[in-house]
Amino acid sequence: MNMAIRPFSLQGRFTLYLILPVLTLLVIMGLIGFLLARDLLLTQWQESAILRLGRAAHQMDMHLAAVKQGIRLFHDISGSIHDDSFHAWALDRLRRQEGIVDARLSWNSPQTKPDPAQEPAPPARGLGHGFRAGGMRRFQSARIREITAPRFDAGGAHGTISMVSELLDEAGAAIGRLEVVVDFDLMFGHVVESGWWQSSKAFLVDENGQVLVCTAPGRHGKISDAGDPLEKATFAAMAHQTHGTVWGKGYPPSEISGFYRLTEAPWFLVMIAPGREVLSPILQFRWAYSIAAIGLILLVTALIRLVTGRVASEIKTVSEAALRLSRGKFDDPLPVKRRDEVGELTRSFNLMTRHLRERLQLKQAMGLAMEVQQNLLPAAPACLPGFDIAGRSLYCQETGGDYFDYIFRNGEEGRRHLCIAVGDVVGHGISAALLMTTVRALLRIRLDCPGPIPEALTDVNRLLCRDTEASGSFVTLFLLQVQADTRRLAWVRAGHDPALLFSAANGDVQELNGPGLALGVNEAFAYTGVSPLGLHTGDIVLIGTDGIWDTRNSRSEKFGKTRLVDIMRRHRQDPAEAILEAVLRSVEQFRGQMPQEDDITLVVLKAAGPAAGTPG
């Protein structure tokens, strides 16, 4: 499916108002989800790192606590029993504790040297060589004053630390001290074997930042003296927290540090590791998450594009079919492939096409009917010596019920008469046109026979009533007979509005009235005429239908017969065709934008010259 996306096309609107917002929402949700997952993973890593450091610190604290417990036991035993031999026994027992290399007791003032026989023997492990007690004195209590930094031998392979405990008298003054030398390797061995110590850099530092042990060879001094910003930041954090993590610059940071303070000694375990190595699970998650998110976004976008593309394609198919239909090309019905609104649109289009085809056929039939009806109307004005004649019918639909005709007939003594018929069938459209055609045929046939026009109209009415009895239709008709040589008028009104006669001599206008009933109402009705009336040069006769004076404008005002009379007077010097055009133009201007609601028919008869058979 190859559809070009245009900004104002349906597919373009789908892309602009549906796909882009959904795509934006998915990207935002994916980014938020990634940030939340990343923060969760980072939090879990920090907790895991602190837990590993805490476990290593706890192992050292256990060893230090065991040594402290032995020192407190020595204080408790030796402080309550003041026998020198018992003190020597307690000191020897302290030496025998696991992890203790040696124990030394010294006093702040000299004392009489005890009997060598009472001096305790060296420990069996050979760890107490060189020990000489300066004698045992009484002390009330003790406190651990310091734990020294680790000391290593010349090869750096063996290390020890010392715990110094002060002996206090009853007044709290220091009278001696107990120094216990502890095997640092034995105590720190579990820490070395733990996983975190195999990191890039690991330290054991005191609370002043002094490096006690480091995995980096030759590293001494304070941790903050190396000029590393991360180490300085770590030392600063150690001053306020017992444990935590510190991130270096960048993302991922070049290095990440973690620290944990021991409980039994004023020391910190510090670990510094590369950021990418530490955050490799998070980085792997980021790539996996990004690939999955992008794939999901592309999948959702493709599905939306597929669905909207199909909808737009089917609507475009309907649009193209409608365009071809507007050009008069009727295709086969479109296939209905869906049961949704698009399918309903396709079904409606097919139904519209079928009805439009039928309507077009009806329109063609109506056009043919209009053509037939127009051919029934006079194609040109009647030619009668001494008279100027013009007539026209304007239908509000293709066909109408208005009718006018020029019918020549032979009168008495071989005189030639012109009958002008103007009729108005009730209603509009085909039915009115058919009835008008019937009246025309009946009238033409009857006027071709001898007899006065009232008698002819009576016969037409009798025949027409047989056709209109069931439908109730009727026709109003004004029949005017003009005798050319004498200019005498005779007329019959069959329910029609009277014609208007303008007198050129005095400018008066009178109506050509007379009794009469509409045709097709009463079969037994007999029509009568009126006394003939003569015309003079310049006199004008207007015969029209009510579609002229009943025309309404936008203010619902009627055109009326007064305006019609004014037009006759203003254009009395004009020929019949000009008067006809003036009336129709005035009616159209009066109506304005309002639609034509009724058929309009007008015939103008003007006495333009001397009567036939008389000198000019």
Q: Assess whether 254 and 396 both reside in one domain.
A: no
> What amino acid is encoded at 124 in this protein?
A
CA gap 269, 246 in Å, rounded: 14
Q: Please, which pLDDT band fits residue 1 given cuts at 50, 70 and 90?
A: very low
Is the whole-model pTM more than 0.85? no
Predicted local confidence at residue 611, as pLDDT: 57
Q: Assess whether 423 and 557 both reside in one domain.
A: yes
Asked if the model's pLDDT at residue 137 lies above 60, the reply is: no
The CATH number covering residue 512 comes to: 3.60.40.10
Boundary residue ending a domain (278, 303, 326): 278
Asked if the model's pLDDT at residue 201 lies above 50, the reply is: yes
CA gap 510, 293 in Å, rounded: 95
Residue 214 lies in domain? 199-278
Asked if the model's pLDDT at residue 562 lies above 80, the reply is: yes
117 in Cβ contact with 199 (< 8 Å): no
Q: Please, which pLDDT band fits residue 24 given cuts at 50, 70 and 90?
A: confident
Boundary residue ending a domain (278, 294, 316): 278
Predicted local confidence at residue 63, as pLDDT: 81
The residues near 475 (Cβ < 8 Å, ≥ 6 apart) are: 401, 403, 423, 424, 425, 426, 435, 436, 439, 464, 494, 518, 519, 520
Higher pLDDT, 115 or 469: 469
Predicted local confidence at residue 580, as pLDDT: 95
pLDDT digits (tens, 9 = 90+) for 102-129: 888 777 776 544 444 434 444 433 333 3
Number of domains in the chain: 2
Q: Assess whether 264 and 387 both reside in one domain.
A: no
Residue 540 belongs to some domain of the structure: yes
Residue 410 belongs to some domain of the structure: yes
Residue 9 belongs to some domain of the structure: no
Q: Assess whether 452 and 599 both reside in one domain.
A: yes
Q: Assess whether 253 and 401 both reside in one domain.
A: no
Q: Assess whether 417 and 548 both reside in one domain.
A: yes
The CATH number covering residue 258 comes to: 3.40.1840
Asked if the model's pLDDT at residue 279 lies above 90, the reply is: no
Higher pLDDT, 189 or 518: 518
Asked if the model's pLDDT at residue 330 lies above 80, the reply is: no
Q: Assess whether 568 and 420 both reside in one domain.
A: yes
32 in Cβ contact with 167 (< 8 Å): no
Q: Assess whether 266 and 404 both reside in one domain.
A: no
pLDDT digits (tens, 9 = 90+) for 578-590: 999 999 999 999 9
CA gap 288, 284 in Å, rounded: 6
Asked if the model's pLDDT at residue 481 lies above 60, the reply is: yes
Cα angle: 367, vertex 373, 374; to 5 degrees: 90
Q: Assess whether 389 and 255 both reside in one domain.
A: no
CA gap 139, 308 in Å, rounded: 94
The residues near 43 (Cβ < 8 Å, ≥ 6 apart) are: none
Q: Please, which pLDDT band fits residue 388 given cuts at 50, 70 and 90?
A: very high
Asked if the model's pLDDT at residue 521 lies above 60, the reply is: yes
390 phi, psi to nearest 5 deg? -145, 145
Residue 130 belongs to some domain of the structure: no
pLDDT digits (tens, 9 = 90+) for 445-459: 999 888 899 999 999
Which among 375, 370, 377 has a CA at the least distance from the CA of 396?
A: 370
Predicted local confidence at residue 598, as pLDDT: 87
Q: Assess whether 267 and 397 both reside in one domain.
A: no
Q: Assess whether 454 and 585 both reside in one domain.
A: yes
pLDDT digits (tens, 9 = 90+) for 425-438: 887 777 788 888 88
Predicted local confidence at residue 568, as pLDDT: 92
Residue 118 belongs to some domain of the structure: no
Boundary residue ending a domain (214, 243, 278): 278
What's the mean per-residue pLDDT of the chain?
79
Asked if the model's pLDDT at residue 497 lies above 70, the reply is: yes
Q: Could you tell me the two tokens for 254?
A: 């070049």
Q: Please, which pLDDT band fits residue 254 given cuts at 50, 70 and 90?
A: confident
580 in Cβ contact with 390 (< 8 Å): yes
Residue 581 belongs to some domain of the structure: yes
Provide the percentage of residues in the chain whose pLDDT is more than 70.
81
Residue 494 belongs to some domain of the structure: yes
Residue 384 belongs to some domain of the structure: yes
Least reliable range by pLDDT among 378-392, 394-408, 496-510: 394-408
Which secondary-structure segment (H or E) carries 372? helix 341-376
Helix, coil or strand: residue 116: helix
